[in-house]
Each structure stands twice: as C-alpha cells, then as structure tokens.
Amino acid sequence: MPAFDFPQDLLDAQAALDEVQAERDQFAQLLPWSAEPMPGWTTDKQLHSDYRHEKPDSPGYTPEEAERLAGYRARILELTTQVLTHPYWATLSGPDRVTARTVLKHVHDAAGPEA
C-alpha cells in the first residue's frame, strides 16, 4: 500500500470525525428503538422454532435526546465536509485518490489498514 503525506489538519479532521461518530453510536445504543412513541409488538411464531421477536413499547426520544442526536448529526456533517473538500485531494488523481481516502479512513486504527 502506498504511503501518503496527509496534512495534519486533514488527519485531525478525520480523527475528530471518527470520535464524534463513535460517541454518536454509543449514545444511540441508549435511545429507545423509535424516535416517536410507538406501541410494542410481537411477531408470529417462527417456522420450526418457538422464537417470537418482541419489541417493548417505545416512549420516543425526549426533546433533550433528539437535540443531542441532531447535534451529533450536524457535527458529523461539518467534519465530513471538511475532510471531503480538503485541498489535499486535488493533489491526487484517479486510483491514488481512492486509495488515499481508504488509507485516511484507517490511519488512526490501532492496527492500521492492513488489519
């Protein structure tokens, strides 16, 4: 895999994007399954098993939860725009640009892109 000399501000923006997405994902795990209040449900018994999928009633998101989620979305959009429109990409062409974007997405992984 070729090495790329990413500018520090691009590396920082990608790291911030990864961090905000991870925070959003962790927060989303705590949210009810539906943004709006919805009644729970149970599926019919599955063929060849007694399994029935169930969802409890969802109270919906509180205004604070919805606002926090919207804040994550806005920050992710801002950082994504910063990464995708960075002037560095104009210095590359064709397959190198695609490869560089893939490398950048994994540059902060502990094991690197080869993992």
pLDDT tens, position by position, 51-96: 888 999 999 999 999 999 999 999 999 999 999 999 999 999 999 9
- Write a three-state SS string for 34-61: CCCCECCEECCCCCCCCCCCEECCECCC
Residue 70 is part of which domain span? Answer: 8-35+62-106
**Is 113 among the domain residues?**
no
**Is 40 among the domain residues?**
no
**Is 85 among the domain residues?**
yes
pLDDT digits 0-9 by tens, 84-96: 999 999 999 999 9
Output the six-digit token pair for 48.
Answer: 């060849």
Q: 1 pLDDT exceeds 60? A: no
**Is 41 among the domain residues?**
no
Q: 114 pLDDT exceeds 80? A: no
* Predicted local distance difference test score (pLDDT) of residue 115: 41
Q: Is the pTM of this model over 0.85?
A: no
Number of domains in the chain: 1
